[in-house]
């Protein structure tokens, strides 16, 4: 067993805090700004254009993405000697992901801790697995970004304004390469890194969460097949998820540049792995729109409409799925009692 102890948590504190309501207000203001910037009629027209093909694409693609995320989460939990059924983790993931898509401050992650606690998993175990999940999310994003950036450089003449950004993209790829070198060193010298992390002063003070992360890291870096499999799942997840924006963009009339739209999508998805955001709507739409405007001949309203429509359809899918998941969880609990 890993050296992790259960910790207490106040499940209502976040919802009653000033931070929560401030971020909720910011989210409302951002949503209002998006509607005004796009134009309400254009937003409605975009939703009509994406019906029903765009919605069906979202349902199909995100079902696959959810399956990948659940498999990965189960593997990460197993490194902490925690074993739950796929059915439970799927329901928990759907509920949490829906809350992350609607509520500010990534509060869906709190739901994962609470529900798994009700099924016998310590908060520190769940939190450690989520931290490792964010690490692999970042690694997967870096991989897809590196691939799309390389395609940018090799096919520069196909994209508007790419020449003046070529140097920045090369610098970015060098930074990504450095990141992969660090991962390679982690593979080569796992015992050294494990001992190094274990000697951190903050860990010696008995912080259970960080000890759990160290334990999970030590298990994963010793099992290269496990690491490789989780890494491939993470990269595949982001690549598949980015195809949603590609489909919506083409449906709404944007140029069919798969590389540019995928690159924009991954930049936008990078905001999803942040531990705290000013609102569920806003950062994702802004960054996607800026990349699309840099490299595609489209209007400002269309550039914002593409990620906004995508986000709305995803939230719609998650809302339906989370309602079903919540009902099933309560039904199963009633049967058990």
Residue 220: which domain range?
13-336
Please report whether residue 218 resides in a domain. Answer: yes
Please report whether residue 3 resides in a domain. Answer: no
Please report whether residue 7 resides in a domain. Answer: no
Give the number of other CB atoms < 10 A from CB of residue 303.
Answer: 25
DSSP secondary structure string, 160-176? TT-GGGHHHHHHHHHHH
Q: Which residue has the tokens 């027209």?
A: 45
Helical residues (DSSP H) of the chain, grouped into ranges: 13-16, 18-38, 40-49, 53-78, 86-102, 108-118, 123-154, 166-188, 190-198, 201-204, 208-222, 224-251, 258-269, 283-295, 300-336
Please report whether residue 20 resides in a domain. Answer: yes
pLDDT band at 171, cuts 50/70/90?
low
**What mean pLDDT comes out for the span 73-102?**
89
Please report whether residue 1 resides in a domain. Answer: no
Please report whether residue 2 resides in a domain. Answer: no
**Greatest mean pLDDT range, 107-111, 246-250, 277-281:** 246-250
How many independent structural domains does the chain possess?
A: 1
pLDDT band at 221, cuts 50/70/90?
confident
Please report whether residue 283 resides in a domain. Answer: yes
Q: Are 99 and 107 in contact (CB under 8 A)?
A: yes
**What mean pLDDT comes out for the span 44-67?**
91
Percent of the chain with pLDDT over 90: 23
Q: Are 251 and 53 in contact (CB under 8 A)?
A: yes
Please report whether residue 213 resides in a domain. Answer: yes
**What mean pLDDT comes out for the span 126-139?**
86
Looking at the predicted structure, is the pLDDT value of residue 3 above 50? no
């Amino acid at each position: 067993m890993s050296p992790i102890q259960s910790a207490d948590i106040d499940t209502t504190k976040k919802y009653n805090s000033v931070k929560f309501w401030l971020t909720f207000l910011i989210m409302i203001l951002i949503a209002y700004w998006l509607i005004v910037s796009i134009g309400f009629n254009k937003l409605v027209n975009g939703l009509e254009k994406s019906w029903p093909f765009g919605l069906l694409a979202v349902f199909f693609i995100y079902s696959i993405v959810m399956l990948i995320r659940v498999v990965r989460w189960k593997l990460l939990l197993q490194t902490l000697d925690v074993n739950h059924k796929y059915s439970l983790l799927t329901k928990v993931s759907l509920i949490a992901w829906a809350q992350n898509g609607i509520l500010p401050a990534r509060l869906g992650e709190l739901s994962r801790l609470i529900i798994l606690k009700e099924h016998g998993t310590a908060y520190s175990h769940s939190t450690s697995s989520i931290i490792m999940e964010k690490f692999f999310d970042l690694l997967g994003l870096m991989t897809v970004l590196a691939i799309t950036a390389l395609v940018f450089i090799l096919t520069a003449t196909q994209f508007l304004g790419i020449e003046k950004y070529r140097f920045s993209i090369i610098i970015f790829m060098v930074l990504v390469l450095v990141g992969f070198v660090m991962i390679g060193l982690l593979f080569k010298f796992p015992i050294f890194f494990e001992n190094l992390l274990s000697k951190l002063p903050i860990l010696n003070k008995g912080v259970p969460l960080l000890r759990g992360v160290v334990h999970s890291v030590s298990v994963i870096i010793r099992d290269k097949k496990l690491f490789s499999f989780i890494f491939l799942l993470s990269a595949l997840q982001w690549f598949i998820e980015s195809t949603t924006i590609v489909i919506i963009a083409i449906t709404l009339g944007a140029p069919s540049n798969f590389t540019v739209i995928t690159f924009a999508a991954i930049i936008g998805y990078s905001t999803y792995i942040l531990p705290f955001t000013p609102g569920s709507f806003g950062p994702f739409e802004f960054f996607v729109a800026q990349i699309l405007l840099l490299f595609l001949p489209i209007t400002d309203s269309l550039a914002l409409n593409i990620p906004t429509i995508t986000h709305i359809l995803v939230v719609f899918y998650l809302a339906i799925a989370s309602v079903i998941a919540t009902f099933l969880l309560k039904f199963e609990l009633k049967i058990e009692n």
